[in-house]
Amino acid sequence: MPTRLLLALALASAIPLAACSRASAGTTTVAKDAKRYEGHGVVKLLDAASKTVLIAHEEIPGYMKAMTMGFVAKDAAQVQGIVAGDTVDFAFVDDDGTLRLEKITKK
């Protein structure tokens, strides 16, 4: 199997794990003290069924250095029309370790 396909399969299986929260799995309520951030990056994988998006993002000032990580969308409509390879701007909330997309737009 080609290396890129193996990598894509490994990342796809990791998205749901990266997007899970120990306390709030299955809920969309955001804690009052959740911190909000904005970023810019490239969509690497999108799993509409689990509403997760894997984004290789630039540094997010005050949050973290550039890396690739998974985010949970509010609903499937939020990521409709977005595909792997799209460059996006996004805003998210860090809700006790669960990264919830508030908005995502193609550039």
In terms of DSSP bridges, do strands 35-47 and 87-95 run parallel, antiparallel, or are they unpaired? antiparallel
Query: How do residues 13-46 score in pLDDT, each as one tens digit?
Result: 444 444 443 333 444 566 777 889 999 999 999 9
Q: Which two tokens stand for residue 98?
A: 């669960």
pLDDT of residue 28: 56
pLDDT of residue 16: 44
Instruction: Judge contact between 38 and 96, C-beta under 8 A.
Output: no
At 49, the pLDDT band (50, 70, 90 cuts) reads confident
Domains and CATH numbers, the chain: 3-20+35-106 (2.40.50.320)
Largest CA distance in the chain: 46
User: What is the DSSP code string of 55-95?
Assistant: EEE--BTTTB-SEEEEEE-SSGGGGTT--TT-EEEEEEEEE
Q: How far is it, in rounded angstroms, from Cα 28 to Cα 73?
A: 9
Prediction pTM value: 0.72
Residue 11 has pLDDT above 60, yes or no: no
pLDDT > 90: percent of the chain: 56
Of 4, 9, 3, 31, the closest CA to residue 94 belongs to: 31
Which of 18-22, 25-29, 51-55, 78-82 is predicted least confidently?
A: 18-22
